[in-house]
Each structure stands twice: as structure tokens, then as C-alpha cells.
Amino acid sequence: MKRLVFVLYLSILIFAVSCSQPEEIVLEKSIENGLWNKFTPLVWDSVVIPDQGPYQLVLEIEKDSRFVSEQLIFQLISESHSGEMRNQVFELPIANFEVGEHQGPNLQFLRKDLESAGNFAANGVYHIEFISLMPYLETPGVNKIRLIFRK
């Protein structure tokens, strides 16, 4: 009898864990040679938001010592499976970013909540584009861009 109760408890626990939804969804793109090209958008197709939000959007940047700009300027476009489209331009002073750990002598993470991006509340499939609006053809020192949907 004890064995049956244990097996039943274990089965329920495994089922509950396997059905739980992720607390955050991480989208990441590496940028070739650390040169962020103005005319090469970072694109994520078929991003699945599995359950109702709201999800807060967080931006993380991995940069190296070649990145010397005082602000980050970009456009964020998202389109849901139902056709709802958001198109926003951000001009974020680097001084307002939270500084993460150094990843070696030249690498550093910067993190910023994108409150003005609004909450992603609907579940479904999204198409997301992240586009440089920096004044240079290529912005050196940007190695990775992460968009994190945090519940």
C-alpha cells in the first residue's frame, strides 16, 4: 500500500512539473565579429509564448571594450499570430543600464527592463525583429543581444 501511494505521489509530481509553464523565455542572437550592422536586423521567427502573461521584456547586451557609445538606439518590432503589431523605437542611455558581471577582461553584460515595450499578455506565436538605429553602418563591440520575457 505504501508503495502504491509513493508511486501515485511521484506520478502526480512528475505530471505537475512537466505541465508547468516557463517563468522566462530567452531569445538570443550572437553578432558576427561583434559588429552590429545597421542593415541586418536580428530576427526571431515563431517565438512561442506558451501561456497568458503578462511577460515583462528585458534587454541584455554582451559588449566589449570596442563599444563606446553613450546610448543604444534600436527599433523593436513584434507581430502576433493574430496580426497585432507593435513597432517601437528606443533611445536608451547606457548609464541607465544595470551592469552585470564581467565575463573576462573585455566582456561585460548590460541589462535593462523595457517597461515602455508594454506587457506581452497574449499567448501564441510571435515574429520579432530587433534593428539597429545607431548612427553608424556597423557598431563595434556588441557581441550578443538577448530579449528575455520574464513572468
Say if CB 91 and CB 71 are below 8 A apart.
yes
pLDDT at 1: 59
pLDDT at 5: 45
Q: How many CB atoms lie within 10 A of CB 12?
A: 10
pLDDT at position 2 over 90 = no
In angstroms, the CA 60 to CA 132 distance is: 15
Domain membership of residue 14 (yes or no) is no
What CATH number is attached to the domain comprising 146?
Answer: 2.60.120
pLDDT at 10: 41
Take residue 104 and report the three cell numbers written for it: 573576462
Q: 53 lies in which domain range?
A: 23-150
Say if CB 86 and CB 77 are below 8 A apart.
yes
Domain membership of residue 4 (yes or no) is no
Strand ordering across the sheet containing 124-132: 42-49, 124-132, 71-80, 85-93
Most confident of 17-21, 72-76, 79-83, 121-125: 72-76
Take residue 95 and report the three cell numbers written for it: 548609464
Total-model pTM: 0.77
Name 71's bridge partners: 93
pLDDT at position 144 over 90 = yes
Domain membership of residue 5 (yes or no) is no
Question: What is the overall mean pLDDT for the chain?
Answer: 82
User: Nearest 5 degrees, angle CA 111-CA 116-CA 117?
Assistant: 80
| pLDDT, tens only, 78-130 | 898 888 888 999 999 998 898 877 677 788 889 999 876 656 666 788 899 99
Take residue 7 and report the three cell numbers written for it: 508511486
HEC string for 87-145: EEEEEEEHHHCEEEEECCCCCEEEEEECHHHCCECCCEEEEEEEEECCCCCEEECEEEE
Q: Please state, for a pLDDT cut of 90, what percent of the chain lies above it.
A: 50
pLDDT at 131: 97
Domain membership of residue 32 (yes or no) is yes
Domain membership of residue 94 (yes or no) is yes
pLDDT at 51: 73
Domain membership of residue 47 (yes or no) is yes
Place of cell 517601437: 88
pLDDT at 69: 93
How many structural domains compose the chain?
1
